[in-house]
Amino acid sequence: MLAFWIRADLDEAAFRGDELRGFGPATLDLFKKEKLLKRGRDLQVVECGDCGNPHLEDVDVITDSPDGIPRAYIACGAGRVSVRLDDLQVWAIDYDRLARLTRSALGLGGRIVQVAADRVWLLGSARLANKTRDVFLVRGIGWPDGLQLLVGNARLSTSPCPLILCLNRVPDDADWHGHERVVMSLSEFDWLQCDRSTLLARTTEILREHAGSLVDAETPSESETGNKVSRSIGSAVAVNALLALKDKKGWTVEQLSIQIGTTARTFQNFCKTSKVRNSVFRTMAERLETSPEELLKGHFPDRQE
């Protein structure tokens, strides 16, 4: 499914027929049932994969074959090579459908408004994690003009504490994360192809965590809170040990996050504040086959994969 999100965040957000077959039947059924892809103009030029010497050729479609079944060919050397008609198909991601699916998974009401053509959709508003928030879907948030979408769009830039959904990577630019904005990637966890309610559940969790990390940042001294039970835990040593593990294994932040049972967003917050919710920290320790006490000291067994 990651291949879908990566493609969805590209300018050329379409799949060729032969690429689609790589998704497998369950995902193809989902695309079909939800009408997530719409047929574009067929390819007119394809690469010859027949002679071992790739070359681009115009496609010749013959519709008046003796048996009435259309066939496609390209020239190769002195002869011609037949091409599967399926392979000529181009299927583009339908963002309006994706926007609607996302809205319904989050239980948002109202109409979807495109606030920047093909790039930003206001999916609706809802009370999420104790605040009324606008929910936006942004395509190409990391494109060179990505920040322009925010700066140049009053509806988006003036929205208080919005939830901003992107398709692949969460951008690093501080502007996207200021003013109580929460940016989250729809690719961060599985929801589209399985239980859609996962999206709302995880989103609420992330928003709560975000609110929690803001509170932690404002009250850094835990000793002052006396014997009140702290909701979050962590240490810079633990963060550094996890980052060292990531580098040693050659993992991305996303891969490390999966290994330690959390999300890239939560892990990045952990790096920033050295604190995460107790339950998250316990899960990390468990996944690393150690105890929370040991993880606080940056200790966990060296695992061989």
Binding site for Zn ion (CB under 5 A): 48, 50-51, 76
Is 54 or 66 the residue whose CB approaches Zn ion more closely? Answer: 54
Is 60 or 173 the residue whose CB approaches Zn ion more closely? Answer: 60
Total number of residues shown for the chain: 305
139 closest CA partner among 252, 266, 5: 5
Quote the least distance from Cβ 65 to Zn ion, whole Å.
22
Quote the least distance from Cβ 42 to Zn ion, whole Å.
20
Is 8 or 48 the residue whose CB approaches Zn ion more closely? Answer: 48
Quote the least distance from Cβ 49 to Zn ion, whole Å.
8
Is 1 or 76 the residue whose CB approaches Zn ion more closely? Answer: 76
Quote the least distance from Cβ 82 to Zn ion, whole Å.
12
Sorted by sequence, the CB contacts under 8 Å of residue 30 that are 6+ apart come out as 36, 192, 193
**Token couple for 297:** 């000291």
What is the rounded CA–CA span in Å between residue 20 and residue 44? Answer: 18
Quote the least distance from Cβ 58 to Zn ion, whole Å.
13
What is the rounded CA–CA span in Å between residue 256 and residue 246? Answer: 6
Is 76 or 85 the residue whose CB approaches Zn ion more closely? Answer: 76
Residues facing 285 on adjacent strands: none
What is the rounded CA–CA span in Å between residue 198 and residue 196? Answer: 5
What is the rounded CA–CA span in Å between residue 211 and residue 204? Answer: 11
